[in-house]
Amino acid sequence: EVQLLESGGGLVQPGGSLRLSCAASGFTFSKYAMNWVRQAPGKGLEWVSTIVSSGVGTYYADSVKGRFTISRDNSKNTVYLEMNSLRADDTAVFYCAREGEGSNIYFKNWGQGTLVTVSP
């Protein structure tokens, strides 16, 4: 059974930093791209970032480009999201998600999410 467990969320002041982690199990982690998707309070889903299976390719939403960095450690089956220069509009539940089959970036499996609150 695929499991994705996010951690690292919390309360941070504007301009601060936070690192999210997502520990994966139940599949061959090194074969799949991994993603972060967020949902701000009262809003819809927003794709944030993707890292390919090898880690050499990364993609970002314009809203986080230059502030967030996605990375992975295939030896630890973990994907990370380093978030800097946080703003109030980054407040959201952040979900980790695994890509689908055939290198198609739909989100086949999701974690339960971790809440990030950016507030003074």
Partner 1 sequence: EIVMTQSPVTLSVSPGERATLSCRASQSVSSNFAWYQHKPGQAPRLLIYGASTRATGVPARFSGSGSGTEFTLTISSLQSEDFAVYYCQQYNDWPLTFGGGTKVEIK
Binding segment for partner 1 (CB under 8 A), chosen from 23-31, 66-74, 84-92, 98-106, is 98-106
CB nearer to partner 1: give 68 or 111.
111
CA atoms within 13 A on the CB side of 98: 25
User: Which position has the token pair 């059974």?
Assistant: 1
Number of other residues whose CB lies within 10 A of the CB of residue 9: 17
CB nearer to partner 1: give 59 or 75.
59
CA atoms within 13 A on the CB side of 60: 13
69, 110, 115, 117: which one binds partner 1 (CB under 8 A): 110
Number of other residues whose CB lies within 10 A of the CB of residue 60: 18
13, 25, 112, 119: which one binds partner 1 (CB under 8 A): 112
Q: How far apart are CA 61 and CA 55, in angstroms?
A: 17
Interior angle at CA 75, CA 69 and CA 79, nearest 5: 30
Binding segment for partner 1 (CB under 8 A), chosen from 10-18, 19-27, 60-68, 74-82, is 60-68
Site map 19..58 versus partner 1, x via CB under 8 A: ------------------x------xxxx--x--------
- Interacting residue ranges for partner 1, rule: CB under 8 A: 37, 44-47, 50, 59-62, 95, 100, 104-113
